[in-house]
Amino acid sequence: MELAMLDTSPWNDQKEVLIEQFIQSLLRASKPDAERILHQIQQANSSFPQSVESIVVTSLERIGRDWETGKVALSQVYMSGRICEDLMTATHPENDGPARIFGKCAIAILNDYHMLGKRIVLSALRSAGFNIQDWGRLTPEQVVSRIEENGTEVALISTLMLSSALSVREVRTRLDAKGLKCKLLVGGAPFRLDKVLWKEVGADSTADNAMDSIRALSTLLGRQA
Amino acid sequence: MKVMTSLERVLTTLGHSEPDRVPLFLLLTMHGAKELGLGIKEYFSKAEHVVEGQMRMLKKYRNDCLYPFFYAPGEVEAWGGEVIYVEDGPPNSGEPFISSPKQIVGLAPPNVSTTPCLRKVLDAVNAIKAHVGDTVPIVGVVMSPFSLPVMQMGFGPYLDLIHEQRDIFWRLMRMNEAFCVEWANAQLAAGATAICYFDPVSSPSIVPRELYLETGFIVAKRMLTAIKGPVAIHTASGRSLGISDLLQQTGAAVVGVSAEEDLAAMKTACMGKVTILGNLNGVAMRNWTVHEAEDAVKTAILKAGSGGGFILGDNHGEIPWQVSEDVLLAISDAVRRWGRYPLAKHHV
C-alpha cells in the first residue's frame, strides 16, 4: 500500500490521517506498513513516544469497538494487538522496566487452555502502559495463592467455557475467606452472552473486549481511562 | 394436518415447506449423564451410556433429533491430544499437542476404524439407529478441518500460522480434511442421518470474510462435496450472517445462528436456500423461568418460522449442563403451543 505523504498541516490534522492508515495496516496484519507509519510520525513530531502511544491506543480502541459491532474479526483484533505490542516494545524500551501506569495487576486463564483472549487483552493493556503479570493457566486455588503472594490489587480472569466462568465464584469465596481485598475483572464469551453473569460469580467488573478492559481496569485502580 | 414423524418434519422444513410444526433440536449431550445418575466422565466412557441417555431424553423432551455427540476434544484425543473432564461442563481440550508448526510435517491423521474414542461414537450411532430406524434424524458431528487446529495447536499460534506460514497451514488442512471426510462418512455409514460441521473459526466474529474466502471457505466446499450426506454448518455461537451467501455456496443444508444475531435477518438472507437453526441463548437459558423460556421460543418462531426452512435450537450446538429440566420441558411445550403450522392462527 502506498502511504500518503505527510503535508505541512498542523499535527492534529495529520494525526487523524495517520490513525486511519495505521488502523488499515493493522487490519491487514501488515507490520511493515504499521512500522512505516510510526516512522513517519517520528519524522513529523518531536514528542514521538507520546504520539505513538496516543495513536496506538486510539487505533486499538477503534478496532475493539468495531469488533463489538461485528465490523472486524477477532483475528484482526489479535493481530493488531500483537503488532502494536511489538512496536511499543521497540519504541518504549522502558516497558521492560517500571510501568507507566502503576498498580499491581495480573491476568490468568481459569482452567481452560484457550489463551487467545488473554493474549489480546494483555497486548492492549501493555500497549496502553499497564504492567501486567501473566500467570498463564491456573486453578481457582492457585489464583488466590498468587494474589496473596503478590499483593495483587486487580486480577483479570479470562474464560471461554461456561464452567470456567462459573468457577470465578470459587476464587471470590477463597479470597473472602482469607480476607483479601483483590478486585476481580472478568471477561470472555460466557460473560458476553450473559450480561449479569459477572455479578452472579462475585466479580467486581467485566469487560467485553480488550479496550473495555483498559477502561475497566483504570476504574478499578481508581484512575482515569 | 397429519402428525409427522420427526424425520418427516425435518425433511419438510429442509425443503422450505411448512411441516405440522416447527422442528425442535434440543442439542443435549451431558444431560444424558443426569438421566443415568452418572458423572460426566463416566457417562461418556461407554457407548451404551450415551445410547441410553439419548433415548431417555428423546422420550422426556419429545425432541426431533438424536445427538450422539460425545465432546469436541474427542477428535484431538484421536490425534493423541489430552482431554480434561470437569464435573459441570463439557470435557475440554488440554495442552495443544502441536507446540511448533515444524511438527505439522511429521503428523499423520488417526485411523477412524481403529481409534477407540471414535469407535465408541460409531457404536453409539449404530445402536441408536437400531432403536429409531428412519423416524428420528440422528445428527453426527465433525469439527471442521479449519477449526480443529484451535485445539490441535492453540488459537493464537494457529492465527499466527494462517497469517505467516500459509504453506504449512495448507499442509495441516490437507491432513485434517482427510480425517474429517473419513470421520464424517463413517458416522453416516453407522446410521447418522446428517452431519453437523462445527466451524466456529469461519465465523466473521473470528476471521474477516476476505480471509475466510481464501481459507475456510475453500476447505468447507471441498468437505461438503466429499461428505456423503446432508451437512449443517454451525459456527457455535459465532455470527454467520456476514457469510450467509458463502455458506449457501458450500452446499450446506442448514446453518446455525448466533444469539448475537437477529434471527429474522438471517431468515431473510437464507429464505428458500438454506434452513436456519437457532438461536436460543444457551448461556442465558440457565437462569430462565418457564415463562421466559416460552417467550423466547415464541419470539424465535415469530421471527423465523413462517414458510419452513427453520429448526428451533440453541445458538451454540450444545445445551449447557446447568440448564434445568424444567426449562427444557418448557421449551418443548412451547414449541408445541406456538409452533404448529399454519403459524398465524396460533399467534393471533
Q: Does the beta carbon of B85 lie under 8 angstroms from any beta carbon of chain A? A: no
User: CA-nearest residue of chain A to B89?
Assistant: A163
Are B4 and B20 in contact by the 8 Å Cβ rule? The answer is yes
Query: B287 to chain A: which residues are within 8 Å by CB?
Result: 194, 196
> For residues A224 and A127, what is the distance between their CA atoms, to the nearest angstrom?
16
pLDDT in tens, B193-223: 999 999 999 999 999 999 999 999 999 999 9
CA distance B69 to B121: 7
For residue B242, give the chain A residue with the closest CA: A70
Residue A38 pLDDT grade (very low, low, confident, very high; cuts 50, 70, 90): confident
Phi, psi of B92 (to 5 degrees): -115, 155
Q: What's the average model confidence in pLDDT over A49-57?
A: 74
Q: Which residues of B touch A161 (CB under 8 A)?
A: 86, 89-90, 92
CB contact under 8 Å between A75 and B207, yes or no, is: yes
CATH match for A11-95 among 1.10.1240.10, 3.40.50.150, 2.60.40.10, 1.10.630.10? 1.10.1240.10
Task: Give CA angle at B196 (B323, B99), nearest 5°.
Answer: 90
Q: Are strands B83-86 and B89-93 parallel, antiparallel or unpaired?
A: antiparallel
Establish if B95 touches chain A: CB-CB under 8 angstroms.
yes
Q: Phi, psi (5° rounding) for residue A143? A: -60, -45
**DSSP state letters, B102-134:** GGGGG--PPPGGG-HHHHHHHHHHHHHHHHHTT
Q: A115 to chain B: which residues are within 8 Å by CB?
A: 154-156
- For A98-220, the fitting CATH number among 3.40.50.280, 3.40.50.2000, 3.40.50.1950, 3.30.2270.10 is 3.40.50.280
- Helical H runs in chain B? 6-14, 31-36, 40-43, 47-61, 74-78, 116-132, 149-153, 155-164, 166-190, 209-214, 216-226, 244-249, 263-270, 282-285, 290-304, 325-338, 343-347
**DSSP code for B310:** E
As for the ipTM of the complex, it is 0.89
| pLDDT tens digit sequence for B3-23 | 899 999 999 999 999 999 999
| CA distance linking residue A16 with residue A22, whole number of Å | 10
A1 touches chain B (CB under 8 A): no
Residue A95 preceded by cis peptide, ω within 30: no
User: What is residue B226's predicted lDDT score, i.e. its pLDDT?
Assistant: 98
Q: Rounded to whole angstroms, how far apart are CA atoms A167 and A110?
A: 8
Cβ pair A126, A115 in contact under 8 A: no
Q: Percent of chain B scored above 70 by pLDDT?
A: 99
B321 touches chain A (CB under 8 A): yes
Task: Look at B283 and A162 and tell me if their CB atoms are within 8 Å.
Answer: yes
Band (A99; pLDDT cuts 50, 70, 90): low
By the CB < 8 Å criterion, does A182 face chain B? no
Do the chains contact at B88 and A115, CB–CB below 8 Å?
A: no
Torsion, CA B115, CA B116, CA B122, CA B124, rounded to 10 = -170
A224 pLDDT exceeds 90? Answer: no
Mean pLDDT of A33-47: 81
Q: With a cut of 50, list the residues of chain B below it in pLDDT.
A: 348
Residue A75 near chain B (CB below 8 Å): yes
Predicted local distance difference test score (pLDDT) of residue A3: 43
- Rounded to the nearest integer, the mean pLDDT of chain A is 84
pLDDT tens, residue by residue, B60-107 = 999 999 999 999 999 999 999 999 999 999 999 999 999 999 999 999
Is B259's Cβ below 8 Å from some Cβ in A? yes
Residue-wise pLDDT for A155-178, tens only, equals 999 988 888 899 999 999 999 999
Interface check for B281 against chain A (CB to CB < 8 A): the answer is: yes
Q: CB B208 to CB A163 under 8 A?
A: no
The answer to whether residue B307 neighbours chain A at the CB level (below 8 Å) is no
**Inter-residue contact A146 to A140 (CB < 8 Å):** no
Give me the residues of A, 106-165, that contact B with CB < 8 A. 111-116, 119, 161-164
Q: How far apart are CA B100 and CA B91, in angstroms?
A: 24
| pLDDT band at residue A189 using 50, 70 and 90 as cut-offs | confident
Q: Which of B77, B88, B92, B201 to mutate to test the interface with A (most CBs of A within 10 A)?
A: B92
Q: Say whether pLDDT at A94 is over 80.
A: no
3-state secondary structure string, B181-227?
HHHHHHHHHHCCCEEEEECHHHCCCCCCHHHHHHCHHHHHHHHHHHC
Give contacts of B204 with chain A, Cβ < 8 Å.
Answer: 70, 73
Strand partners, A108: A157
Q: Which chain A residues have a beta carbon less than 8 Å from that of B321? A: 162-163
Interface test with A, best of B29, B97, B159 (most A CBs within 10 A): B159
* Domain positions in chain A: 11-95, 98-220
Domains, chain B, in order of start with CATH, read 6-347 (3.20.20.210)
Sequence-distant (≥ 6) Cβ neighbours of residue A120 within 8 angstroms? A74, A77, A78, A81, A210
Judged by average pLDDT, the poorest of A30-34, A101-105, A150-154, B201-205 is A101-105
Residue A54 phi, psi (nearest 5) = -65, -40
pLDDT-derived band at A92 (thresholds 50, 70, 90) equals low
Contacts of B242 (CB under 8 A, 6+ apart): A70, B204, B209
Question: What pLDDT, on a 0 to 100 scale, did the predictor assign at position A95?
Answer: 45
